[in-house]
Amino acid sequence: MSNIGVSKAGSHTLAERIKHLGDFTTDPRVLVISAIAVVVGTGGVIAGLILLWLIRLVTNVAYFGAFTLADLKLGQTPLGAAAILVPVVGSLIVGLIARYGSEKIRGHGIPEAIEAILLGRSRLDVKVAILKPLSSAIAIGTGGPFGAEGPIIMTGGAIGSLIAQTLPVSDVERKTLLVAGAAAGMTTVFGTPIAAIMLAVELLLFEWTPRSFVPVATAAIIAEVERHWLGLPRRCSRSTAAWRCRCSRSFAGS
């Protein structure tokens, strides 16, 4: 009898664990968070556009001395051999920003977003939202060997977190909105909403439930629709010095 009791207790515990891991239940609250995710998605689009514009602007200033968003050809820079010093100067500027601005802008971007979720209750401050795209644009635009994935995830996540911090939401919901902003930003820069959603689920959400998945997917879809309206290209191509967006229909006014 005791063995039967132990067996039933073990089966009951296993059933509870399976039910917890496969929690696909939700409530009307997810509609509220999804509505907020629409706003977060638009914020992610704005963050993505600003990052792309900043990268182009920094590149033109650094290599041509021209304060313009025109799509200038790096091969035609008048600097000649002196262009090798541009990435060095860029790295020094970014180092100063990281030293005296915010230590959270250091690193790739994704590990910092994960740290904010796990240790910081998904709270990011305004400094990160401003300094991360600025420092990343300087690093990439001056020829640093980096891409825009980490920076836009951190920047978009900061936008989502800041919006969530102004609203009466729980820590879990704040995390969801942070991740929604990251997915929207990545969708804007790369034009890959499905990949952005999958990356968000795998690296940032740590769960596959409607309460989190639906708002994140909503933000990514909104970002894809808005970037299509803006005429952004499907993807970015790597130039000789940096990731630079080449648009068939210029969004930079060039």
pLDDT of the residue at 125? 82
Contact at 8 Å (CB) between 215 and 177? yes
Which pLDDT score, from 0 to 100, does residue 47 have?
94
Q: Which domains, from first to last, does the chain contain?
A: 29-67+84-244 (1.10.3080.10)
Which of these, 100, 89, 198, 174, lies nearest to 138 by C-alpha position? 89
Greater confidence (196 vs 105) lies with 196
- Binned at pLDDT 50, 70 and 90, residue 234 comes out as low
Q: Give yes or no for residue 21 having a pLDDT over 70.
A: no
Q: CB count, 10 Å around CB of 238? A: 9
* DSSP for 32-83, written as a single string: HHHHHHHHHHHHHHHHHHHHHHHHHHHHHHHHH-----S---GGG-TTGGGG
pLDDT band with cut points at 50, 70 and 90 for residue 240 = very low
User: Cα–chain-centroid distance for residue 74?
Assistant: 27
- For residue 243, is pLDDT > 50? no
Residue 15 binned pLDDT confidence (cut-offs 50, 70, 90):
low
- Helical residues (DSSP H) of the chain, grouped into ranges: 2-21, 29-64, 86-100, 110-119, 126-141, 149-165, 171-190, 193-199, 210-229
- Check pLDDT > 80 for residue 1: no
109 vs 152, higher pLDDT: 152
Query: How far, rounded to the nearest angstrom, does the alpha carbon of residue 16 sit from its chain's CA centroid?
Result: 35
CB 48 within 8 A of CB 152: yes
Higher-pLDDT residue of 65, 115: 65
Average pLDDT for the chain? 83
Range name among 25-34, 113-122, 239-248 with the lowest pLDDT average: 239-248
Kindly tell me if the per-residue pLDDT of 213 is higher than 90.
Answer: yes
| Least-confidence region, from 58-62, 88-92, 128-132 | 128-132
The yes-or-no verdict on residue 241 having pLDDT over 60 is no
Angle formed by the axes of helices 210-229 and 29-64, to 10°? Answer: 40
Per-residue confidence (pLDDT) for residue 220, from 0 to 100: 97
Q: What is the pLDDT of residues 24-55, one digit of tens each?
A: 667 889 999 999 999 999 999 999 999 999 99
In angstroms, rounded to a whole number, what is the distance separating the alpha carbons of residues 186 and 32? 23
| pLDDT, tens digit (0-9, with 9 covering 90-100), for 181-193 | 999 999 999 999 9
Q: How far apart are CA 70 and CA 112, in angstroms?
A: 33
pLDDT of residue 198: 93
| CB of 30 closer than 8 Å to CB of 210 | yes
Please identify which residue in the block is written with the tokens 């030293």.
Answer: 99
**Residue 246 reports pLDDT greater than 50:** no
User: Among 112-126, 144-158, 230-244, which stretch is predicted with the lowest mean pLDDT?
Assistant: 230-244
d(CA 60, CA 253): 14
pLDDT-based confidence at residue 231 (cuts at 50, 70, 90): confident
Containing 238, the helix (H) or strand (E) segment is: strand 237-238
Burial class from Cβ neighbours inside 10 Å (0-12, 13-18, 19+) for residue 241 reads buried
Q: Which of 180, 159, 102, 110 is nearest to 135 (CA)?
A: 102
Q: What is the mean pLDDT of residues 130-151?
A: 90
